[in-house]
Each structure stands twice: as C-alpha cells, then as structure tokens.
C-alpha cells in the first residue's frame, strides 16, 4: 500500500460537539484533506506542541515522550493505518536499539507524539480515497508550498553532514542549553566523525 505524508493544517472547534475539535490534515503533495475529530485534551496537547509552548509541568504526552526517550525508544513515524466504521486507527512506529516496534494508538495521541518526536505523520492512499476531501482556498496553494518545504526539512532532522564544523559546534551548544540531548548526541557524533577524518 502506498504511504502518503501528511501535515497538520489546522485545528478548529466543532459546532456540533462543544468538547471536540476537528484537526485537518493535508497531504504534502496533493489537494486532499483528512478531517479527524479529536477530544479537547488531545487538541490542547497538539496545539501546545505546534506553538512550541513549554508548560511548567509536563503534560501527559510530554511525560510519555520523556519516558520513551529514557528507555531509548524513539518514534520514527506515525501512521493513520485504518478506518473502521468511521473511526480512524493509528500506529506508532518506534525503534529501540535498532529493533522496530509497532504500537497501536488513537490518531490524536499519535499526532501529539509525532510533534514531540519531530517525525512524519503518514497515512495510506486508500484512507484518503475513502475519507479525504478536497478544499482548495485561494491562498492555500502558497501555504501548501511552504508546508512542503517544512516537510522536506523535517523528514531527516538528524542529517548534519552538510553543516560546517563551526556551525555544528554552535548547534551542539544550543541543543545542550535546550536539553535536547538526543539531537546533541547526533551533532556530537558528526563533530567526532569530522575530527577523526581531519586527524
């Protein structure tokens, strides 16, 4: 089955159900949109991550993400993989010490975690065919192009091979200050590799 990359286009409250929100996902290379109804708590968790807000205490999804990272489990991608009786299902594609692990999830939780791991959100073509809609507003083409560029940058967040050495050292210091030790380790490894090559 063909996998389609998605990005979060918007989150809006629903008029029919005051406690629910609609999250609109867009395919990176097309005009189809996938609306998914989620709860208020999950909408808040997604919005906080999208805005880069750091709450004074970790939210539930922050706690779960921190726990996974503590045990060296990293989410590499999330997939909205099925649609059963109008209900979407998802999987977290995780990796621990080189072993791939799949974990069932609600799409809302999967998206909240994808933002915290900066990993792709995917679905299958048949799901967009059956549940997708096409919305093409006048200014949406430009937004889509910007989002596509963002996806290209985010698809491989740990590829530091093209950065100058001095820039890598600055990034390393910045990641340590942000306590992003996973990225810091990747940058450190690249610096070490360069230094070994240069003797």
Q: What does the pLDDT look like over 126-153, one tens digit per residue?
A: 999 999 888 655 454 444 445 444 433 3
Give yes or no for a contact between 105 and 7, defined as CB atoms under 8 angstroms apart.
Answer: no
pLDDT at 50: 87
Q: What does the pLDDT look like over 149-187, one tens digit per residue?
A: 443 333 344 566 667 777 778 888 887 777 767 677 777
Give yes or no for a contact between 183 and 189, defined as CB atoms under 8 angstroms apart.
Answer: no
Does this model's pTM top 0.75? My answer is no
Q: Which tokens hold the place of 120?
A: 């792709």
pLDDT at 154: 37
Q: What does the pLDDT look like over 21-41, one tens digit per residue?
A: 899 999 988 889 999 999 888
Euclidean distance between CA atoms 152 and 90, whole angstroms: 23
Of 104, 102, 149, 138, residue with least CA distance to 7: 149
Q: Which tokens hold the place of 28?
A: 């990176």
Residue 158 C-alpha from the chain's centroid: 14
pLDDT at 18: 63
Q: What does the pLDDT look like over 46-82, one tens digit per residue?
A: 988 888 888 888 889 999 999 999 999 999 999 999 9
For the domain spanning 3-154, the CATH number is 3.10.690.10
pLDDT at 140: 47
């Amino acid at each position: 089955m063909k996998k389609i990359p998605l990005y979060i286009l918007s989150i809006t409250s629903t008029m029919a159900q005051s406690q629910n929100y609609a999250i609109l996902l867009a395919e990176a290379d097309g005009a189809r949109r996938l609306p998914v109804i989620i709860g208020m708590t999950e909408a808040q968790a997604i919005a906080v991550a999208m805005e880069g807000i750091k709450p004074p205490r970790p939210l539930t999804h922050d706690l779960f993400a921190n726990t996974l990272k503590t045990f060296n489990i990293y989410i590499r991608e999330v997939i909205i993989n099925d649609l059963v009786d109008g209900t979407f299902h998802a999987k977290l594609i995780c990796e621990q010490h080189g072993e791939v692990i799949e974990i069932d999830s609600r799409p809302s939780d999967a998206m909240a975690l994808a933002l915290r791991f900066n990993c792709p959100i995917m679905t299958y073509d048949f799901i967009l065919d059956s549940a997708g809609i096409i919305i093409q507003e006048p200014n949406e083409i430009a937004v889509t192009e910007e989002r596509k560029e963002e996806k290209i940058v985010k698809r491989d967040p740990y590829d530091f091979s093209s950065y100058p050495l001095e820039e890598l050292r600055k990034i390393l210091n910045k990641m340590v200050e942000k306590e992003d030790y996973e990225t810091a380790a990747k940058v450190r490894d690249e610096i070490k590799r360069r230094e070994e090559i240069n003797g």
